[in-house]
Structure formats: structure tokens, C-alpha cells
A and B are shown apart, each in its own frame.
Chain A
Amino acid sequence: MSKYKLLLVSLFFVLLAGCASQDIPDPDPDSTDSTYGSEDGADTDGMDGSGLGEGEAIDYDPSQGELANIIYFDFDSSELQPEDAETVARHAMLLTNDPQLSVRLEGHADERGSREYNIGLGERRAQTVRRLLLIQGASAGQISTVSFGEERPAGFGSTEEAWAQNRRVEIKYTN
């Protein structure tokens, strides 16, 4: 997303939030809207404002959820999954907003095949995330990459599950 779109979207949410924080207006305490007149001596008492107030729609705002810092990849692939675009965008925003922040992108691969080639696969994945962060406004000096290949597995064993856990990039803030 471009910087401006992001700004507009943020503004929109801010406005929504503003609306949400206003009080629901009380029913007018002086209103005499009553079918039974008070001249008869019968006093009516309006009920306490316990009627249902006005509701409002809420939108799903992913920027309010916990920010993931691990991105997973398919076998033999360094392509970002569509569902991870949002995560990367949020990290990009953090980095853009604070030029003092820096990250280390740690790329990994599953255990299959040759170790140094797997260093290459891990690096490719780290570079995918790096390029995306740069495009979205982070500066080169904020990002460093390292690939551990298959040397630092998150999951152990020779199963599809373990392999899937290991094909990843970890985003670590270094300050």
C-alpha cells in the first residue's frame, strides 16, 4: 500500500474510533411525552434510560491484532503467501515510522538436501521479506539478513510438519 493510502485508511479508523467514543445521548429528562396527562394528579415517571442504545457496526481491523514475527514458506519456495502480506506491511510501517528501529531477518530452510544450498534457500526467503520492507518504506540501513539454512530448526524430525515449521523467516528487532 502506498503511504497515502495507508494514511487515509488510518484516518478513517481514527474517525470511526472517534464516533465510538462519544456518549450515547440520554433521553431528554424534561420531555413530557406521555399519554396520561399530569393535571389528573397522576404522576408518571419515565423509566431510567435503560432502553437499548443505538448500536453501530464494527470493522475487522487487522492492525489491532498481535503482530506476527515469523513468516512461513512452501517447499522449495521463497514466495510470500498472500496471508502474510499484511504482517510484512505492518512491520514496514513500524520501520518507516521510526528510523531508529532496525531488524534482522533470519532465513531458514527445512533439513532436506545439502546444507550450504539450504543456506541459499534461507537467504532467498529473507531477501523476499527484505525487498518487500524496502518497497514499503523501510530504509536499507534498518535491515540486515542472515540465513541459518537448516542449522537452527524450530521443529525436529523428518516429517512434513517439522519441515513446514522450519521453512521460515524470523523478524527480530535488534534495538
Chain B
Amino acid sequence: MLNQATLRSFIIAICVLSTLLSGVVQAQLIVEITEGIKRRPIAVVPFGWEGNAGDVPLDVASVISADLTRSGRFAPIAEEDMLQKPTSGADVDFDDWSILGVEAVVVGSVTQTGDNAYSVQFQLFDVFGRDQLVGYRMPASRGTIRRVAHRAADMIYEKLTGIKGVFDTKVAYVTAEQGRDGESYSLTVSDQDGENEHKIMESKDPIMSPAWSPDSRRLAYVSFEGNRSSIFIQTLRSGNRIQVSSKPGINGAPAFSPDGRKLVITLGGVDGNLDIYTLDINSRQSKRITTHRAIDTEGSWSPDGRYIYFTSDRSGGPQIYRVSADGGTAERVTFEGSYNARPRLSPDGTRLAMVHLDRGNYRIAVMDVKRKDLLVLSAGSQDESPSFAPNSDTLIYATRPGRNGVLESVTADGLIRQRLASVQGDVREPVWSPFQRF
């Protein structure tokens, strides 16, 4: 096991310093940067607006700037420090940007093209090379312009880092609240920056284990309505849902197969012997995958669809196993530490995230699938529910520093860790959506 403690205070000092220098005000998600690296200074110039005065549908530059800041890799400079504010590439004076020490500049504009129609264009320049790295134009409506801004940020991010951006993605999470009439639980979907929150389900009974379908149109989850557990699949656009598993005993831990046609689930039956099953969503036929009398639960698919990873305490305490998706002999996958649970493979199949007991603390760890070495990523004592972003580069998870649960994100190399502060209440079980189709 490795951790980053040796460099930690030095790195935090650098990143705090560069955050102060950047002067960017965050309206939404990030409050604390708890672990960081040196951020690259860039400039996102306020976009031009061609349309009626006061009718600007969105401050696109601000959304792009916030996205890049939130990645932990960039420090956009403040507008008041800019020596010029071009809105098109032809007007960029590279000397003015060189002086400021920024390595890249984004310029752009929004043009009204119709009643509810806009054109958003941006150009990204390399200051040292004095060259355009990417330029793009996209149509938008008032309803889609925020997503267009996120897509622009994705393109800029990928050009500058080589990593696919995840700014145009969503997260879902469960919130628990203590009200006057008792507890209430809700399942919420929001943009990854915390905007556009939608409560898609509310209940006075617990909700657990949300899981995105691969086409990001549906969420599966466990509901305890009626004082029993059952599994639902809800279509986000319509809010309609179907109950896909309500067998006697436990119904739990749903996760979609890569082709979206099946769920892996946990069933306990009347005798309470938890085992892994796969469920065909259309036919509702289930197929038993494990038969051991240990607790076998928390199944998830490998991205190639060949294996199911799951938690089992058949060797005494929880460890992670994998089995062929058609069933067969399970093989143990984790050997470090006395508690490894809740396996989730990264979308690129290279890393396995888990909950790992690290010297008395429940923390998020990732294991390189090939090299099998374990890296502890988080630093709390009650960390749980790791979920990869679709670019496999960052994870979101829940932790509990006090009475309320909060969400944090961390890069898969452990170098950048942040608390996500815009969500109120006792939050748990975050899941990051797949890439959204347009």
C-alpha cells in the first residue's frame, strides 16, 4: 500500500498558494481542496455576446472556468488581471498572455441565431507555441447551452491533458433527512457540478444502491417501501418505474450489465443466504451465479461483460472475488488486508476500486488489475461507495467527517482529492453517470 503522506503538506501549500493567486470564485461545488498538485495557469476570457443586450443565456466562460478549476489541474486567472479580452482568435495578442505566465488561452463568443437558438464558438490557444490547439462551433438552445459549455470544457481539457473530460456528465446520490414527521429519503440526479438538481424519488423508507444504465437513461435502485427490500428501474425522462425484483427476503445491490439488458443483483430468499444472481430485465428470468452459504453480494460487471466481481466473506471476512458472468468457480481477487468490499472496475478495465480497511479506517482503495498493487486514495474513517467517472481518471465517493455524510472526489492516482460541498443534508452512495449521448 502506498499513500501520499510524504509530499502532502508541501503539495497542499503549493496548491493553496496557486488557488489564492488564481482568485477564481466558485459558485458551486468545490470548497476544500484537501490534496492537490501544482495547477497549470490558463486564461478563459469572458465570451463575446452577439444578440440583444441583457439577453445572454449563459456566462459560458464562467462555466468552462469552473469546470477546469474543479478538475484540480488548472488555475484560470482572474478577469481583472487580463491585459486584453479578445473574443475571437484573430484578436489574440500572445505577448499579453506570455507576460501573465499563462500557458493557454480560451476565447469565444455566443451569437443569437433565432428566437431560442444560439451558436457557441470557442478557440483554445497555446501561448508558448502561438498556435490554435482546437476551435469549435456548436449550436445551442436555452435548454442545452449549459451542456454545450460543458462540452467545450471537455474538449479544452482533453486537448491540454490528454484525458477525456467528464464535465458533461451527471451524478446520482441518496440523501437522508430527519424531519418533523420522521426520516425521509430521496434519490437525486444533478449535473456533475451540482447544478440542475432533480429529486427523482422520495420515500419515508430507505433508498439504496443507485446504479446507472449504460445509456444513462435509467437508474436502478433498492427501495424499502413497504418495510421490505425490492429493486426498481426508473426511467429518468418520464419518472416511470418498474419493479424488477421483489422476491421474499433480500433484494439488493443492483448493477447493469455493459449491454444494459441485465442486472446483477443479490437475493437472500427466505433463509437469508445472500447470493449473486443475474436478472434479464425484459423477461425477469433470474440465473443463480453463486451458491455459497457465505454472504455474497455487491456484484458488478467487468466492462467487457465477461466477469462479475462481488464481495464474499466465504474466507472469514469480506474480500473481493470474481466469477464468469455465466457462473462457475469464483476466484479470489484481493489478498491485502482483512476487509475488501464493494468492487467497481474502472470503465477502461485497468483498476478495481473498493472499500478497504486501512489500519482501522474504512477507505477507498484502487488495485491495478494487472500489477495487483493496492493504492489507498482517501483519508477518512468511514469512506464508502466509490464510483468511477466515465474517463476512469477520477472517482466520487461518500465519507462521514461528522454526523452528515458528504461527497468527495479523488483522482485514481490519489494526487487530487476534493470535497464537494454543494449538496445539503446527509448524503451517501454517489454514482457517476456514463458519458451522455447528445
A117-B311 contact given A123-B274, A126-B272, A140-B270, CB 8 Å threshold: yes
Closest to B254 in A: A116
Cβ–Cβ < 8 Å partners of A145 in chain B:
249, 270, 272
Most buried by B among A111, A123, A145: A123
Residue among A106, A115, A121, A156 facing the most chain B CB atoms (10 A cut-off): A115
> Considering the chains assembled together, what is the distance between the CA atoms of A117 and B209 in angstroms?
12
Interfacial chain B residues near A147, Cβ < 8 Å: 229, 250, 268, 272
Interface residues as binary, B200-241 with A (CB distance below 8 Å gives 1, 0 otherwise): 000000101100000000000000100111000000000000
* Chain A residue at smallest Cβ distance from B342: A114
B266 and A116 form a contact (CB under 8 A): yes
B229:A114 contact, CB within 8 angstroms: no
Q: Which of A76, A116, A147, A157 has the most C-beta atoms of chain B within 10 angstroms of its own C-beta?
A: A116
- The minimal Cβ–Cβ distance linking B30 to chain A, given in whole angstroms, is 25
Stretch at the interface among B82-90, B160-168, B377-385: B377-385
Which residue from B229, B317, B357, B400 sits with its C-beta under 8 Å from A146?
B229
- The residues of B that contact A5 with a CB separation of less than 8 Å are none
User: Which residues in A have their C-beta under 8 angstroms from that of B341?
Assistant: 113-114, 117
Q: Do A116 and B400 have beta carbons less than 8 Å apart?
A: no
Q: Of A114, A117, A140, A157, which contacts B403 at CB under 8 A?
A: A157
The reply to whether the CB of A137 lies closer than 8 angstroms to some CB of chain B is: no
Residue A104 at the chain B interface, CB threshold 8 Å:
yes
Asked whether B271 lies within 8 Å of A156 as measured between CB atoms, the reply is no
Does A73 make an interface contact (CB < 8 A)? no
Contact size class for A?
20 to 34
Q: State which of B229, B270, B362 has its C-beta within 8 Å of the C-beta of A112.
A: B362
In the complex, chain B residues whose CB is within 8 Å of the CB of A130? 272
How many pairs of residues, A versus B, come closer than 8 Å at their CB atoms?
102
Complex interface residues of chain B between 395 and 428 (CB less than 8 A to chain A)? 400, 403, 428
CB interface residues, A 92-123, toward B, < 8 Å: 104, 106, 111-117, 119-121, 123
Q: Does B339 contact A (CB under 8 A)?
A: yes
Q: Contact: A124 with B272, CB < 8 Å?
A: yes
Q: Is the pair A114, B384 in contact by a Cβ cutoff of 8 Å?
A: yes
| Cβ B382 vs Cβ A120 within 8 A | no
Binary interface encoding of chain B residues 340-354 relative to chain A, with 1 for a CB under 8 A from any of its CBs, else 0: 011000000000000
Known: A123-B274, A124-B272, A147-B250. A117 touches B224 (CB 8 A): no
**A130 to B270 alpha-carbon distance, docked (Å):** 10
Bitwise, B76-99 to A at CB < 8 A (1) or not (0) is 000000000000000000000000
Assembled-state Cα–Cα distance A114/B270 (Å)? 23
Give the size range of B's interface with the partner: 35 or more
Q: Residue A31 at the B interface, CB < 8 A?
A: no
Can you name the residue of chain A whose Cβ is closest to the Cβ of B209? Answer: A116
Question: Whole-angstrom distance from the CB of A122 to the nearest CB of chain B?
Answer: 9
Instruction: List the B side residues contacting A104 at CB < 8 Å.
Output: 227
User: Cβ of B429 < 8 Å from any Cβ of A?
Assistant: yes
Q: Does B297 contact A (CB under 8 A)?
A: yes
Chain A residues within an 8 Å CB radius of B189: none
Across the two chains, which residue of chain B brings its CB closest to A113?
B362
A74 to chain B, nearest CB (A): 15
Bound state CA distance, A98 and B252, in angstroms? 33
A114 with B224: CB separation less than 8 A = no
Q: What is the chain B residue whose CB lies nearest that of A143?
A: B270
A-facing residues in B353-406 (Cβ within 8 Å): 355, 357, 362, 381-382, 384-385, 400, 403
Return B126 CB to nearest CB of chain A, in Å. 45
Chain B residues contacting A112 (CB-CB under 8 Å) are 362, 382
Q: Which residues of A, 136-174, contact B by the 8 Å Cβ criterion?
A: 140, 144-149, 151-152, 156-158
* Contacting pair A124 B295 (CB below 8 A): yes
Given the complex, which residues of A lie within 8 Å of B384, measured CB to CB?
113-115
Closest Cβ–Cβ distance, residue B325 to chain A (whole Å):
19
Complex contacts, A146 vs chain B, CB 8 Å: 224, 227-229, 250
B382→A115 contact, CB < 8 A: no
Cβ of A114 to closest chain B Cβ, rounded Å: 4
Cβ-defined contact, A156 with B224, below 8 A: no
A117-B268 in contact given A123-B274, A146-B228 (Cβ < 8 Å): no
With the chains together, A104 CA to B228 CA distance in Å? 10
Q: Does B124 belong to the interface (CB within 8 Å)?
A: no
Contact A114 B295, CB 8 Å, known A104-B227, A156-B403, A158-B381: no
A contact set with B: CB distance below 8 Å? 76, 104, 106, 111-117, 119-121, 123-124, 126-127, 130, 140, 144-149, 151-152, 156-158
27 residue pairs A–B, Cβ–Cβ below 8 Å: A76-B317, A112-B362, A112-B382, A113-B357, A114-B311, A114-B318, A114-B342, A114-B384, A115-B208, A115-B342, A115-B428, A116-B208, A116-B253, A119-B250, A120-B250, A120-B297, A123-B268, A130-B272, A144-B228, A146-B227, A146-B250, A147-B229, A147-B250, A149-B208, A151-B208, A156-B403, A158-B400
Known: A117-B313, A144-B228. 15 other contacts (CB 8 A): A113-B339, A116-B208, A116-B311, A116-B342, A119-B252, A120-B295, A120-B313, A121-B295, A124-B295, A146-B227, A146-B229, A148-B224, A151-B206, A151-B224, A158-B400
Q: Which 4 interchain pairs have the tightest Cβ spacing?
A: A120-B295, A151-B206, A114-B341, A127-B272
